[in-house]
Chain A
Amino acid sequence: MDLLGQYLINGLMLGTIYALVAVGFTLFFGVLDVIKFSHGDVLMVGAFTGFTAASAAGALGFSHPLAQLAATVVFALAGTALLGAAVAKWLILPLKNAPRLNILLATLMLGTALRESVRLFYPDGSNPKAFPSLLPTSAWQFGNFTLRADSAILVVTGIAVIVGLHLLINRTRLGLAIRAVAQDEETARTMGINYTLIVLVTFALGSGIAAVAGVMDGLYYNEINFGMGLLLGLIGFSAAIIGGLGNLYGAILGGFLFAALQMVGAVAMPFASAYKDVFAFAVVIALMAWKPTGLIPERSSDRV
């Protein structure tokens, strides 16, 4: 029983990270109908920005973990938000009327360019970096179940970000504007909504959330590397697809579902745990065949 708790917290941790990535895919698809494949690499850039900020804060004499953590989060968020907005402005908006496939390919290439740039230009970038542990590491034991303070804080933070995003989309004027643009660009424009601004803000928002996921990943595993965005991006995208692309709750559901599938694949299946990703992605394929529009399909009246 207590082990179930352990599996649950492991799954929650992974699921939260996946959901945060998936939410970005869904946001972008919601407002612009585009699939932005560089999302995972934007996440990686966020993690590296955070890592650099933490190191810089340490070098400048802010040795307190909280100060370093603040620097990490602020710089990672700001950096990726800007990057996301820049990608939208100079790559995606100009290609808005091009075939969808072109945007997909262009962002795929951008992702590779980002990844390789970090590998080549970041000092010693091809090697994994030890991300500092900035959270308290005390642990509580419940029989066989160990809960570490840092894991708990990360899960709670991740869920808070998701709830915060939900409130932002549904309860604020900005959210209203995003929903309006998602539903109908023309009408939104005639209602006096600054279309370009809303698109840029949405991309900044989605990318900032990816940075949160990247920093969480770094804090949880204490390691980041230039290729971390590749699999995370793919998983996030799959999660968004099985949840129903364009639907916020679908993305969250998809993220947690994917984490659960990996867990089941690793522990409850008769084959070696190395095949857990094979299992999880195979189930994703089956789910897509069963429900091509996702578990919670996007309705045109209820986008984002």
Chain B
Amino acid sequence: MKSILRFSVGAVLSAALAAVPLVGASAKDTVKIAFIGPLSGGTASIGVGGRNSTELAVRLRNADPKAKYKYELFAQDDECKPNVGVQAATKAAADRKVIGGITHYCSAVAMSTVDIYHKFNLPVIVWGAVLPDITYANDYAEVHRVNGTMINQNQVAADFMTKQGYKTWVILHDTTDYGKGHNTYFTKYLTEDGGKILGTFGVTSDQQDFTAELTKAKELKPDVIYFGGLTPLGVRIRQQMDKLGITAQFQGASGIVSDAFIEGLDPKLAEGTVAFREGAPVEKLPGGQYFMSEYEKAKFDQGPDAYGPFAFAAANLLMDAIETVGPDRKKVTAYLGKIENRDSIVGPITFDDHGQNSVAAITKYVIQDGKWVLWEDSEYASGKRKLTGK
């Protein structure tokens, strides 16, 4: 018994000793980068997809022998709640080892944390939140964004839907900055395109029951019900529309472009929902093929979802910056400010004065057979299927 013990201790020791030189040979300084997004709650599938994509970027970089630093991901959950987001942001910003962050999907959270990043000089790249004010309502050099804003998205949405022949809308939006933003921009462009808004309802972001608002909407008999908000409410509203026998077309914003929206609904109910998002879908991205094959190799238990590629591109950009100027927050901020026409898997990235990437393409989506399908590739565009009321 004793000899076996001694033997096994010896084995462990020698194994440990053998491992030491390996580590020693690649002794690089460790640099932490933060990821903050909704890892729990109704939008968790987006958040986990973003975190996995960021982690993938970190793993690939660490496997690269040419990398100067060893990167460590510091992932935080903001629960899509501003108060929790502020805590997470402070925790990341206060850690001097964290050199930059890939931050936020929920606009309301991003809005409440930009001040913290500015105060702590922590350069961040937003990977999913779409409210314009995040980059445009301040002149913080620290805040950047790789994905587009909701302005173009709603312009395309209004244009597209009026061209389909729809005339009247009822708008539901959540009363966070995010939902209000969608309401403002969609209303603006829709009125310009000649669409008519019969009613607008603001709903709270954790509301469960929409029967009162929807019954009122039913009375107004709109062609389309537009929802400016995130997946959990989108699911509830679509479900309750059906309970009340509302047959209007359902149109969402980028906030419902998520696998969770389809999973939360009966396939029959999800079918034919249209929504718009800035940026091309993964399979059409310049580096989409590469990203997807690496993602599959990494064997995460969940897909990258709608904004994973943006998080991946943002993480790579941040690590490029650290590689070039070293782990110094101010230098990284300065470096990011000068990014122009940088190749990435989401296409060339150029930050303007406010750190906003110009993403031209807006993608139109429709749900077909339980999947978000590009409008142009769908049977709806070819005329084989029809949107409601058409």
Binding site for B on A (CB under 8 A): 3, 6-7, 10, 13-14, 126-128, 130, 133, 139, 141, 144, 146, 148, 151, 221-223, 227-228, 231, 262-263, 266-267, 272-274, 276-277
Contact = CB atoms under 8 A, between A and B. Distances in A.
B264 A130 contact: yes
B377 interface: no
A9 to B, nearest CB: 9
Q: Enumerate the 3 nearest inter-chain pairs by beta-carbon distance, A residue then B residue, closest first.
A: A146-B245, A266-B212, A126-B40
B232 A144 contact: no
Interface stretch (B196-204, B303-311, B313-321): B196-204
B175 A267 contact: no
A139 B212 CA distance: 19
A6 B243 CA distance: 11
B209 to A, nearest CB: 6
Given A14-B209, A139-B245, A7 B215 contact: yes
Interface in B204-230: 204, 206-209, 211-213, 215-216, 218-219
Contact of B203 (A6, A13, A130, A273): A273
30 contacts: A3-B215, A3-B219, A10-B209, A10-B211, A10-B244, A13-B211, A14-B209, A14-B211, A126-B40, A126-B41, A126-B79, A130-B264, A133-B266, A144-B218, A146-B245, A148-B245, A221-B208, A221-B209, A221-B240, A223-B236, A223-B264, A262-B212, A266-B212, A267-B213, A272-B201, A274-B175, A274-B203, A274-B204, A276-B212, A277-B204
B336 interface: no
Nearest to B179: A274
B275 interface: no
Contact of A151 (B44, B79, B212, B243): B243
B213 A141 contact: no
Nearest to B244: A146
B272 to A, nearest CB: 18
A14 B42 CA distance: 23
Nearest to B212: A266
A251 to B, nearest CB: 20
B212 A273 contact: yes
A133 B206 CA distance: 21
Contact of A221 (B41, B203, B239, B244): B239
Contact of B216 (A126, A133, A221, A266): A266
A262 B175 CA distance: 17
A273 B243 CA distance: 20
B40 A272 contact: no
B110 interface: no
B202 A7 contact: no
Contact of A274 (B40, B202, B236): B202
A223 B41 CA distance: 12
Contacts of B208: 221, 223, 228, 231
B215 A267 contact: yes
B369 interface: no
A233 to B, nearest CB: 14
Contact of B239 (A139, A144, A222, A263): A222
A273 B214 CA distance: 11
A127 B40 contact: yes
A224 to B, nearest CB: 10
B219 A273 contact: no
B235 interface: yes
B264 to A, nearest CB: 6
B220 to A, nearest CB: 11
Quick one: which of B42, B44, B207, B245 has the most chain A CB within 10 A? Answer: B245
A276 B203 CA distance: 9
Given A144-B219, A273-B202, A221 B212 contact: no
A127 B202 contact: no
Nearest to A144: B218
B263 interface: yes
A263 B213 CA distance: 9
Nearest to B245: A146
Residue among A141, A148, A267, A274 with max Cβ neighbours from chain B (10 Å): A274
Nearest to B200: A272
Contacts of B212: 7, 10, 262-263, 266-267, 273, 276
Given A272-B175, A276-B212, A141 B219 contact: no
B79 to A, nearest CB: 8
Given A221-B239, A263-B212, 10 more contacts: A3-B215, A6-B218, A10-B209, A10-B212, A13-B211, A127-B40, A130-B264, A141-B245, A222-B239, A274-B203
Nearest to B215: A6
Contacts of A141: 245
A198 B349 CA distance: 71
B251 to A, nearest CB: 19
Nearest to A151: B243
A267 B209 contact: no
Nearest to A3: B219
B218 A273 contact: no
Contact of B215 (A10, A14, A128): A10
A128 B42 contact: yes
Contacts of B264: 130, 223
A127 B41 contact: yes
A232 to B, nearest CB: 9
